[in-house]
């Protein structure tokens, strides 16, 4: 085949590919962070207006909890005292527990700083801080899709766990009893310096109400 | 009670919120409940001992959705039902119609909007008394979401009379359930595989009968969370015969290393509208850039080739060749050359068979390994060749002039051609015998680009050639062969009988393919071959003119025999499919029907020309213990007969990464769940164990 005709052939086959076309169904693209590598760095303000950044937590184990107090799945874990018990257990061992609210203004779960503090008090919750993320910047950085959506970060800043709080993806209060709590397991493993047995699970709950 | 209160609480909160200033989705206050449910039935009465279909029908407030039970997506929860059933009635699992997509921010939900019908098979025991009325009660619970999610539940009930006669249809229920059934995914007719990189998963589907210009949209709904990113775009490329779908890899790393199950929904532009069809797809990982998998397939192929040497169709051919070695006293170099020429014969024949297979597949033909035996002409010609070799072993005619012949032929220069054709013959004779390891290797090969595919075929060839090649290359190994003697002639004559048996079996294959007329032609051809062989030998010592005439006659006879081959295929009329052995003929529709009824199903993909299949059927599938286990567990048995070419069965094979028979599939009860793939060499206990695990 001469050079010229080869080129013509390539051009023709290229055209054929273009003609066949390519279907792209648009959808928002995002990338969830991977476990086993550094957790994305972020800074967000607490209900008291203080800026908290992940980098400042080096040397401590960090739990991130995405929440929406009106979501039935969140209600399941708060009304049964399951979430609060885990918060107390963790913070009692020196873990930094950050509860994050990514609901955009005007959507379900959006609260002012004062309302957030009121919720913490009325629910007897025990996070280290509640972070307000009304733009959803932190949530999208972590690919947080659900409430509750849980993350565990070790002392070196490595993301060790991402996913559900437990293995019962329901709103049934009775399912809290006897569920396998992935966050507790991850915290125990990370504290003991062992690998997390189940580092990624399907989070369950309501979607995060981003803008 | 607590549950109800919590719902009420949640609902109040939500309503309070929605009623507030910043209404997120609906301008009106959402009706309560957001979803109305009812239980409907396909029939207005039922008959004892039969399966009947009911369905949960959900009427969903516009703008809201409920969830797909197979995989609700990144959030959400499927609809469930907790039954309270009268004695003797058992419920199957919900058969889920294919879902739609509901992107919510960075998450993707899979579910249904407006209205959905979720069919459920029910079985009523034979003890139910006609004249009574059964009341089926259930508590249905579901999550309904728009921007926000609300769990709801409601009791449902259905009264249905038991009658002795045929069930009366329920026009409304029947039409709703029939429509829902059309939305159930059907087993994919297309072989699929996927390749994963750390960032992407690329699904490859061999789509025959799909016109690229008509495809409006395709979407793959995985059965499990984690293998692909649900919310990411799916880049589809549709070419004639092939569909690739590239999507961002999901968060669960190990999910994209095993079988990827899901539903492929294809929307086709048809005259004046869009038709959607859902296919239950099963894709095996195809590590395209993974040299290890290819190497593994090559090793499997090599092992398979080695085992082929022991198969009854190959062993006699090779034994004769090995016998020749025993008697041989010639130089090492000559021997080595014979070994190499024989190997070349095997390699080249495999390249021809494998290359033809790949070329035909590329041309869109649904064929697989052993495809040549699906042609009765080829089967008959193979019978002729084996018959001629057997006659020669029996001493009816002697090609080289003197007996002891094999050895002489080997030593002589002219013998190289013989060695080459022994290689070709071994290849041809090997086709009906699928050795262990071969199935997986060949199945992998045909899904690969052709250079890798050919490499795997050649590895198979090398495995087949290796024992003889080593005997010629490593002189020391010949020590293990017994010393020559008159026993050799006896053994050679004795070895003719496995070949006669093979011929008899091939004629039986012809009988399965074409019926009695084909058998008559095949047997006539065998008589001509026998006559030609006798004539050839008888004329050896005769005068020249007589010999010339005889040679012509022999050629004419052989040609006549060969001519009968195509004639038989022209006569071919496949015999009636159903056979009275308790195995129903396989069709996709029948399998779907049995599965939908919640029955466990055993599918035996076989062919009359597949010796391994026949042995498996004899020693395992037809054994009393297996028959008893099948009956005890109520397993429906389907037989997919690939004796003649059948694209539907080729597709079934392809969807399990196979390209040849046998293939044994055991589908669990309940209508959902992937089938277990049984090994290619069956034992009674293996089958019974598999059945016990149901």
Distance CA B595, CA B630 (A): 16
User: In this complex, do B109 and A209 lie within 8 Å of one another by their Cβ atoms?
Assistant: no
Distance CA B196, CA B192 (A): 14
Please name the residues between 31 and 90 in chain B that touch chain A, using a CB distance below 8 Å. 74-75, 77
Copy the structure tokens of residue B598: 């919640």
User: In this complex, do B22 and A173 lie within 8 Å of one another by their Cβ atoms?
Assistant: no
Residue to mutate among B7, B21, B149, B250, with most A CBs inside 10 A, is: B149
Tell me which residue in A105, A108, A206 faces B75 most closely, judged by beta carbons: A206
Kindly state whether residue A116 falls inside one of the protein's structural domains: yes
Distance CA A99, CA A130 (A): 5
Q: In this predicted structure, what is the pLDDT of residue A79?
A: 95
For A106-161, what is each residue's pLDDT tens digit? 999 999 999 999 999 999 999 999 999 999 999 999 999 999 999 999 999 999 99
Q: Any CB–CB contact under 8 A between B523 and chain A?
A: no
Q: How far is B559 from chain A (nearest CA, A)?
A: 42
Kindly state whether residue A9 falls inside one of the protein's structural domains: no
Q: Which residues of B touch A108 (CB under 8 A)?
A: 14, 17, 24, 147-148
Q: Any CB–CB contact under 8 A between B25 and chain A?
A: no
DSSP result, A122-172: HTT---SEEEE-TT-HHHHHTT--EESEEEEE-TTSBEEEEE-SBS--S--
- Regarding predicted confidence, which is higher, B541 or B678? B678
Q: Which chain A residue's Cα is nearest to B253? A: A200
User: In this complex, do A30 and B13 lie within 8 Å of one another by their Cβ atoms?
Assistant: no
Q: Which residues of B touch A106 (CB under 8 A)?
A: 22, 24
Q: Any CB–CB contact under 8 A between A19 and chain B?
A: no
Mean per-residue pLDDT, B352-364:
75
Kindly state whether residue A146 falls inside one of the protein's structural domains: yes
Distance CA B637, CA B430 (A): 29
For B159-203, what is each residue's pLDDT tens digit? 999 999 888 889 999 999 988 988 898 888 788 888 887 788 999
CB A96 within 8 A of CB A128: yes
Q: Any CB–CB contact under 8 A between A75 and chain B?
A: yes
Copy the structure tokens of residue B49: 């001992």
Q: In this predicted structure, what is the pLDDT of residue B432?
A: 63
Backbone angles phi, psi at B364, to 5 degrees: 95, 10
Q: In this predicted structure, what is the pLDDT of residue B95?
A: 94
Kindly state whether residue A12 falls inside one of the protein's structural domains: no
Tell me which residue in B17, B219, B251 faces A108 most closely, judged by beta carbons: B17
Residue to mutate among B64, B74, B102, with most A CBs inside 10 A, is: B74
User: In this complex, do B248 and A29 lie within 8 Å of one another by their Cβ atoms?
Assistant: yes
Kindly state whether residue A44 falls inside one of the protein's structural domains: yes
Q: In this predicted structure, what is the pLDDT of residue A8?
A: 34
* Cβ density class B514-548: b for 16+ within 10 Å, e for less: bbebbbbbbeebbebbbbbbebbbebeeeeeeeee
Mean per-residue pLDDT, B498-524:
81
**Confidence band of B219 (pLDDT split at 50, 70, 90):** very high
DSSP result, B465-527: HHHHHHHHH-GGGGGGSPPPSTHHHHHHHHHHHHHHHHHHHHHHHHHHHH-HHHHHHHHHHHH
What's the full length of chain A, in residues? 211
Range of the domain at A118: 28-207
Q: How far is A56 from chain B (nearest CA, A)?
A: 27
Q: In this predicted structure, what is the pLDDT of residue B31?
A: 59
Q: In this predicted structure, what is the pLDDT of residue B445?
A: 77
**Overall pTM > 0.80:** no
User: In this complex, do B232 and A25 lie within 8 Å of one another by their Cβ atoms?
Assistant: no
User: In this complex, do A23 and B74 lie within 8 Å of one another by their Cβ atoms?
Assistant: no
Mean per-residue pLDDT, B328-353:
83
User: In this complex, do B107 and A207 lie within 8 Å of one another by their Cβ atoms?
Assistant: yes
Exposure on the CB side of residue B152, measured as CA atoms within 13 A: 25
Q: What is the ipTM of this complex?
A: 0.76
Query: For all residues of chain B together, what is the average pLDDT?
Result: 80
Instruction: With a cut of 50, say whether residue B28 has pLDDT above it.
Output: no
User: In this complex, do B75 and A22 lie within 8 Å of one another by their Cβ atoms?
Assistant: no
CB B662 within 8 A of CB B652: no
User: In this complex, do B17 and A70 lie within 8 Å of one another by their Cβ atoms?
Assistant: yes
Q: Which residues of B touch A210 (CB under 8 A)?
A: 105-106
Q: In this predicted structure, what is the pLDDT of residue B362?
A: 65
Asked, as a colleague might, if the bond just before B689 is cis with ω within 30 of 0, I would say: no
B319, containing H or E segment? helix B315-327
Kindly state whether residue A163 falls inside one of the protein's structural domains: yes
We report the CATH number of the domain holding residue A124 as 3.40.30.10
Q: Any CB–CB contact under 8 A between A179 and chain B?
A: no
Q: In this predicted structure, what is the pLDDT of residue B599?
A: 87
Instruction: With a cut of 50, say whether residue B487 has pLDDT above it.
Output: yes
Copy the structure tokens of residue B107: 């998450």
Size of interface A-B (CB pairs under 8 A): 137
Tell me which residue in B13, B105, B234 faces A210 most closely, judged by beta carbons: B105
For B594-647, what is each residue's pLDDT tens digit? 888 888 999 999 887 776 677 778 778 888 888 888 888 889 999 998 887 788
CB B138 within 8 A of CB B82: yes
**Confidence band of B453 (pLDDT split at 50, 70, 90):** confident
What total number of domains does chain A contain?
Answer: 1
Kindly state whether residue A110 falls inside one of the protein's structural domains: yes
Q: Any CB–CB contact under 8 A between A168 and chain B?
A: no
Q: Any CB–CB contact under 8 A between A203 and chain B?
A: yes
The percent of residues above 90 in pLDDT, for chain B, comes to: 24
**Confidence band of B370 (pLDDT split at 50, 70, 90):** low
Cα separations in angstroms, A52 against A144, A159, A201: 19, 18, 27
For B426-443, what is each residue's pLDDT tens digit? 887 776 665 566 777 777
* Lowest model confidence (mean pLDDT) among B68-77, B205-214, B377-386: B205-214
Please name the residues between 210 and 229 in chain B that touch chain A, using a CB distance below 8 Å. 212, 215, 217-219, 225-226, 229
Closest of B108, B360, B145 to residue B229, by C-alpha: B108
For B260-313, what is each residue's pLDDT tens digit? 999 999 888 776 677 788 889 999 887 554 677 778 888 888 988 888 887 766
Tell me which residue in B74, B217, B231 faces A146 most closely, judged by beta carbons: B74
Burial (0-12, 13-18, 19+ Cβ within 10 Å), B648: middle
Q: Which chain A residue's Cα is nearest to B225? A: A202
Closest of B228, B250, B231 to residue B108, by C-alpha: B231
State which residues of chain A have pLDDT below 70: 1-31
Q: Which residues of B touch A20 (CB under 8 A)?
A: 212, 237-239
Q: In this predicted structure, what is the pLDDT of residue B534?
A: 85
Q: In this predicted structure, what is the pLDDT of residue A62?
A: 97
For B556-578, what is each residue's pLDDT tens digit? 777 777 666 555 554 444 444 44
Kindly state whether residue A149 falls inside one of the protein's structural domains: yes
CB B531 within 8 A of CB B559: no
- Regarding predicted confidence, which is higher, B135 or B517? B135
């Amino acid at each position: 085949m001469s050079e010229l005709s080869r080129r013509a052939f390539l051009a023709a086959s290229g055209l054929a590919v273009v003609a066949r076309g390519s279907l792209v169904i648009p959808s928002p693209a995002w990338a969830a962070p991977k476990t086993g590598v550094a957790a994305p760095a972020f800074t967000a303000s607490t209900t008291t207006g203080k800026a908290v950044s992940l980098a400042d937590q080096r040397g401590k184990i960090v739990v991130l909890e995405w929440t929406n107090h009106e979501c039935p799945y969140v209600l399941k874990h708060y009304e049964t005292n399951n979430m609060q018990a885990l918060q107390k257990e963790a913070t009692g061992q020196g873990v930094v527990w950050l509860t994050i609210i990514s609901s955009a203004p005007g959507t379900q779960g959006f609260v002012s700083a004062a309302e957030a503090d009121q919720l913490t008090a009325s629910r007897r919750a025990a996070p280290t801080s509640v972070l307000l993320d009304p733009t959803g910047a932190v949530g999208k950085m972590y690919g947080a899709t659900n409430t509750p959506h849980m993350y565990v970060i070790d002392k070196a800043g490595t993301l060790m766990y991402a996913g559900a709080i437990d293995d019962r993806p329901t709103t049934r209060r009775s399912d809290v009893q006897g569920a396998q709590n992935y966050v507790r397991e991850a915290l125990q493993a990370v504290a003991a310096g062992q690998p997390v047995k189940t580092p990624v699970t399907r989070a369950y709950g309501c979607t995060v109400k981003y803008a | 009670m607590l549950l109800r209160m919590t719902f009420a609480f949640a609902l109040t909160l939500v309503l309070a919120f929605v009623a507030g200033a910043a209404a997120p989705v609906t301008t009106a206050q959402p009706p309560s409940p957001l979803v109305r449910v009812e239980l409907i039935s396909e029939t207005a009465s039922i008959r004892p001992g039969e399966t009947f279909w009911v369905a949960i029908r959900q009427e969903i407030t516009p703008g809201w959705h409920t969830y797909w039970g197979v995989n609700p997506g990144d959030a959400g929860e499927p609809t469930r039902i907790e039954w309270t059933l009268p004695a003797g009635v058992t419920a199957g699992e919900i058969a889920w119609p294919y879902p739609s997509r509901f992107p919510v921010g960075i998450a993707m939900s899979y579910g249904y909007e407006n209205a959905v019908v979720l069919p459920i098979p029910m079985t009523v025991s034979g003890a139910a008394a006609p004249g009574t009325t059964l009341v089926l009660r259930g508590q249905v619970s579901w999550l309904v979401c728009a921007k926000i999610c609300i769990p709801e539940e409601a009791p449902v009930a259905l009264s249905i009379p038991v009658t002795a006669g045929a069930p009366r249809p329920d026009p409304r229920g029947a039409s709703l359930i029939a429509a829902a059934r059309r939305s159930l995914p059907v087993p994919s007719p297309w072989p699929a595989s996927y390749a994963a990189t750390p960032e992407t998963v690329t699904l490859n589907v061999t789509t025959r009968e799909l016109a690229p210009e008509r495809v409006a949209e395709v979407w793959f709904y995985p059965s499990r969370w984690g293998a692909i990113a649900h919310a990411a775009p799916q880049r589809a490329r549709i070419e004639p015969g092939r569909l690739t779908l590239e999507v961002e890899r999901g968060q669960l790393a190990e999910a994209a290393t095993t079988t990827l199950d899901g539903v492929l929904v294809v929307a086709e532009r048809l005259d004046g509208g869009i038709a959607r069809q859902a296919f239950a797809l099963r894709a095996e990982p195809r590590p395209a850039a993974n040299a290890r998998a290819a190497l593994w397939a090559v090793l499997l192929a090599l092992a398979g080739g080695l085992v082929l040497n022991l198969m009854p169709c190959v062993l006699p051919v090779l034994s004769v060749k090995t016998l020749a070695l025993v008697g041989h006293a010639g130089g090492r170099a000559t021997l080595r050359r014979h070994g190499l020429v024989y190997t070349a014969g095997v390699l080249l024949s495999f390249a021809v068979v494998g290359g033809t297979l790949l070329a035909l597949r590329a041309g869109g033909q649904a064929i697989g390994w052993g495809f040549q035996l699906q042609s009765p002409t080829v089967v008959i010609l193979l019978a002729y060749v084996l018959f001629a070799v057997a006659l020669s072993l029996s001493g009816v005619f002697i090609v080289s002039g003197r007996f002891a012949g094999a050895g002489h032929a080997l030593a002589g220069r002219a013998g190289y051609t013989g060695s080459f054709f022994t290689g070709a013959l071994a290849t041809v004779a090997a086709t009906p015998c699928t050795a262990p390891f071969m199935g997986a290797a060949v199945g992998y090969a045909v899904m690969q680009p052709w250079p890798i595919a050919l490499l795997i075929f050649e590895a198979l060839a090398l495995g087949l050639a290796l024992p003889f090649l080593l005997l010629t290359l490593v002189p020391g190994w010949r020590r293990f062969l017994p010393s020559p003697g008159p026993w050799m002639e006896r053994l050679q004559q004795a070895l003719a009988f496995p070949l006669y048996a093979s011929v008899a079996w091939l004629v039986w294959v012809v009988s399965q393919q074409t019926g009695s007329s084909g058998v008559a032609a095949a047997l006539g051809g065998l008589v001509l071959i026998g006559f030609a062989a006798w004539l050839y030998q008888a004329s050896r010592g005769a005068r020249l003119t007589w010999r010339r005439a005889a040679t012509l006659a022999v050629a004419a006879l052989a040609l006549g025999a060969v001519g009968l081959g195509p004639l038989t295929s022209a006569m071919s009329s496949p015999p009636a499919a159903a056979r009275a052995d308790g195995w129903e003929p396989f069709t996709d529709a029948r399998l779907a029907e049995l599965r939908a009824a919640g029955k466990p199903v055993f599918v035996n993909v076989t062919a009359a020309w597949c010796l391994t299949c026949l042995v498996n059927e004899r020693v395992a599938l037809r054994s009393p213990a297996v028959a008893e286990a099948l009956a005890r567990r109520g397993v429906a048995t389907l037989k997919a007969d690939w004796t003649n070419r059948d694209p539907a069965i080729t597709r079934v094979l392809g969807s399990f990464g196979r390209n040849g028979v046998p293939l044994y599939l055991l589908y669990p009860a309940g209508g959902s769940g992937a089938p277990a793939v049984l090994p290619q060499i069956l034992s009674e206990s293996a089958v019974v164990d598999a059945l016990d695990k149901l």
